Amino acid sequence: MGRITVRRPVLRLSTTGTRGRRPDTLAVEEPLEIRVAGKPLTITMRTPGHDFDLVAGFLAAEGVIGDARDLATMRYCADTHEQNTLDVVLAPDVPPPDDSMTRAFTTTSACGVCGKSSIEALRADRPYEVAADQVRLAPETLAALPDRLREAQRVFDRTGGLHAAGLFDADGGLLALREDVGRHNAVDKVIGWALRQGRLPLTGTVLMVSGRASFELTQKAMTAGVPVLAAVSAPSSLAVELAEDAGMTLVGFLRGETMNVYAGAERIAL
| Strands 228-231 vs 249-255: parallel, antiparallel or unpaired | parallel
**CB distance 176 to 197 below 8 Å:** no
Cα three-residue angle 246-191-78, rounded to 5 degrees: 140
Cα–Cα dist 208/234, whole Å: 13
Burial class (CB in 10 A: 0-12, 13-18, 19+), 103: exposed
114 is catalytic: no
Among residues 64, 185, 58, which one has the least CA distance to residue 127?
A: 64
Active-site hit among 26, 43, 89, 111:
111
Cα 114 to Cα 11, 28, 41, 100, 239: the distances in Å are 37, 23, 12, 12, 16
Cα–Cα dist 129/149, whole Å: 27
Among residues 251, 249, 214, 211, which one has the least CA distance to residue 233?
A: 211
Cα 133 to Cα 229, 246, 264: the distances in Å are 13, 11, 11
Helix H or strand E encompassing 175: strand 174-180
Cα–Cα dist 216/251, whole Å: 15
Cα three-residue angle 256-189-180, rounded to 5 degrees: 65
Which residues are the active-site residues?
A: 111
